Structure 1
């Protein structure tokens, strides 16, 4: 059964999203480093400490890098989009458009 939407356009959109996510990763990693260093501030009260820990946890969830979120939710969502695409539909669109495939 042919799909009525463009699997190739969805794949291209996922690729563009991934590029933007990759650009955002480095600044978020830097923010995580600063937050971890802030935990070493002398006499830091626990109610402030917990906010830094929460921030670190949120960054870990978004970009990955922790034992609980090794991939990160953004990349996992992109992988799930790609995993949902029927490969044969993408290949058929590429053949129909005459584009070369680098697979």
Structure 2
């Protein structure tokens, strides 16, 4: 049984952690990003709202670090699981600027 690797992903909150299992590419990112609009609940990738994020620039850097893992399945604190077949997550992160 392969364990999840613990990754420091600050920005949304100090001490925020994400978890990655390399054997199948499962990434649990919590609140570094959401897969839903928090107002409408429509599915789609978004940054967490600035008012609930300690440092958005650091958060974006954490997302760039997670992108490099080539995740296949991404689990969020808010929104449905994303099966990342079309590299939707990477496209989203590539559009983010600091």
TM-score, structure 1 length as denominator? 0.27
Structure number with greater CO (CA < 8 Å, separation at least 6) is 1
Is the radius of gyration larger for structure 1 or structure 2?
1
User: Quick check: which one's strand share is greater?
Assistant: 2
